[in-house]
């Protein structure tokens, strides 16, 4: 699931978002109010419908809070400065192991040429 499921649909219920992101419903609702990035469509019944953009915003916030151990205030500041998360060159921008694999692959290609 995850990214593949996000691309298959246009709108998501809060239960779908919870399942895709692994973030509890109460946190999703709190982040809506706290960050201002998540703006679900409200149906006449009052239910929320989240867009792909909303789901990706939730994943960004989750990454900053859980993976990079930022506080809510720190995550807010980071998203205001850099809406995509981290700018190039800062911690968390690129996995060092991935860079090493890319370097080794490129070296092998150059040797073969």
Residue 95 located in a structural domain: no
Flag whether 10 is in a domain: yes
Cα–Cα dist 18/24, whole Å: 6
* Neighbour count for residue 31 (Cβ, 10 Å): 21
Q: Are 84 and 74 in contact (CB under 8 A)?
A: no
pLDDT per residue as tens, the chain (113 positions): 567 778 888 999 999 999 999 999 999 999 999 998 899 999 999 999 999 999 999 999 999 999 999 999 999 988 888 766 555 444 444 556 666 777 777 787 788 76
What pTM value is reported for the model?
0.71
Q: What CATH number corresponds to the domain at position 48?
A: 1.10.1660.10
Distances (CA, A) of 60 to 16, 34, 42, 68, 101: 17, 14, 22, 11, 25
Coil, helix or strand at residue 76: helix
Residue at 105 is within a domain = no
User: Distances in Å between the alpha carbon of 41 and those of 18, 32, 85?
Assistant: 16, 12, 24
Number of domains observed in the structure of the chain: 1
Domain residue limits at 17: 3-81
87 occurs within a structural domain: no
Has residue 112 been placed in a domain? no
- Looking at the domain assignment, is residue 7 inside a domain? yes
Question: What pLDDT is recorded for position 83?
Answer: 65
* Separation between Cα atoms, residue 35 and residue 11, nearest integer Å: 20
The answer to the question of residue 106 being in a domain is no
DSSP secondary structure, 86-105, as one string: S-TTSTTSS-HHHHHHHHHH
């Amino acid at each position: 699931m995850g990214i593949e499921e996000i691309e298959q649909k246009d709108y998501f219920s809060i239960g779908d978002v919870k399942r895709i992101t692994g973030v509890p419903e109460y946190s999703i609702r709190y982040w809506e109010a706290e960050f201002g990035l998540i703006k679900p469509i409200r149906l006449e019944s009052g239910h929320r419908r989240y867009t792909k953009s909303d789901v990706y915003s939730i994943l960004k916030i989750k990454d900053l809070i859980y993976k990079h151990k930022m506080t809510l205030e720190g995550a807010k500041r980071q998203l205001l400065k850099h809406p995509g998360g981290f700018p190039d060159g800062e911690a968390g921008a690129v996995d060092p192991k991935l860079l090493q694999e890319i370097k080794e692959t490129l070296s092998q290609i150059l040797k073969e040429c």
